[in-house]
A and B are shown apart, each in its own frame.
Chain A
Amino acid sequence: MMTCSTSHRLKMRADKSLLRQKFLKKWVKLLQLYTSSEKLATVIERKKLIELSADVALASARGGTTRWSRALIASAFKDSHDKTPCCANGGERTLHESITRKITSKKVLQRIRGGASKEAQASSSNRIPASSIAKRLVKKRTKLLKKIVPGGESMDNVSLISETLDYIISLRAQIDVMRSLVYLSGHLDA
């Protein structure tokens, strides 16, 4: 019993570390594409590059096995002529053009921030059974979640939950790596 959960935890930790490594590798590769680029003059553009490349790297670390990652990569290619989404290891040149175009355009790249409309809940009557209120809440929040998770709009409820699980794990890996990088860079110019 104990050994079961311990080995499970160990495996999860190994998976986590593997994910972080994959993400870091791909991300640095993408960032290196821009070392000599003079196009990224402004701080805003540089930040957009970091965010966009981090997202693409994170998504491609999944190797196309999850829908959120495919949707994320697809949206990175949205403005490019070549509409075929592909993993970063295959299409770095195309990705490069697409990212450059996205970053130097006036449109700011928005993360899907779950911009749900604040629809008022019609709870005026006190005759509404609790179960239907609960159902409505679940429906409303499911809708919200669908907007937040990339590609969520086209998922059924069960896929939505499992995709969300994977998405959260990936986001945490991304944050871990970025935090380590911030720590590193802060301690290098000593």
Chain B
Amino acid sequence: MSSRRSRQSSSLGPSSRISDDQIADLLSKLRQLLPEIHDNRRSSKVSASKVLQETCNYIRSLHREVDDLSQRLTQLLTTIDADSPEAAIIRSLILQ
């Protein structure tokens, strides 16, 4: 099921020579996405383990939020009827 298809990673060198720079670059991009909790720790050196930990926590909080939103949207489902005004609004949202 989990295929080992290789990605089109033309921007990265052969896998045996992936440099620390490239990893650091990706890590810093990742770090930019994370909510900035520790503003005073803007060191130029990215602590890999810290970024990884923050990432895991962040993704988990995102999952929780989706879960909560799904809960709240359960009411909405009953009204997604083709003729309802709600559906018309959603349709207009999409067809802009």
Contacts and interface: CB of A to CB of B under 8 A. Distances in A.
A50 B73 contact: yes
A18 interface: no
Interface residues of A, number: 59
Contacts of B52: 138, 141-142, 144-145
B56 A144 contact: yes
Given A67-B7, A70-B3, A141-B49, A161 B30 contact: yes
Interface residues of B, number: 51
A90 to B, nearest CB: 18
B49 A71 contact: no
B66 A164 contact: no
A31 B80 contact: yes
A35 interface: yes
B63 to A, nearest CB: 5
Contacts of A24: 90, 93-94
B22 to A, nearest CB: 7
Contact of A47 (B15, B33, B70, B79): B70
B70 A54 contact: yes
Contacts of A21: 94
Interface of B: 1-5, 7, 9, 12, 15, 18, 22-23, 26-27, 29-30, 33, 48-49, 52-53, 55-56, 58-60, 62-63, 65-67, 69-82, 85-86, 89-90, 93-94
